[in-house]
Structure 1
Amino acid sequence: MVCIHPKCVWFKGESIRRNGEKHLTLALMCSVLCSDGWDKFQEKCYYFTEEQNPWQQSREMCQSKGADLIVIDHKEKQVGVSYFFLYRK
């Protein structure tokens, strides 16, 4: 089972000078930080387990962690996630 969690943290901008005056920019950026037990891959957090449960039970477990089951919607994602899962440790 593989869960995916989009977790973001927002940061403040920095000061700039324009026409001799100091202004605070409010440029915000999102950086992915994964919790313990989660693996970062292509700016997303993945939780891997070797448990084998029915689909609904697996989904409920992911949702209890604020995530959802991964959706493999194209071949590149399947290959990438499969490769990452096999060689992540």
Structure 2
Amino acid sequence: MRGERLGIVSLRLDAFYCVLVGLLVAASAAVSAPHVGLAAPVVATLGVVVVAWGVLVWVLTSRLPLVRALQLVAAANVVVALGLTVVST
């Protein structure tokens, strides 16, 4: 598989994974909320946000040059990782 094709497939798998996980989080919000210390609507909203992100990543792979899409996704991942680090410490 060529590098460009590998990049597109990787982003689309990431998008699919985000949609799947987001749906599972949103659907299980009532059950999982007590275990994570958040209200169920907050957990459900986070799940919906992850679904929206997955859809956006999928769209980016077809609308932007691969390098730009990879840059945006990588930058977003860094921001989220930093944010999670701040709120979890």
Which structure has the highest strand share of the two?
1
Which TM class, normalised by the smaller chain length? under 0.3
User: TM-score when scaled to structure 2?
Assistant: 0.27
Q: Which has the higher helix share?
A: 2
TM-score (norm 1): 0.27
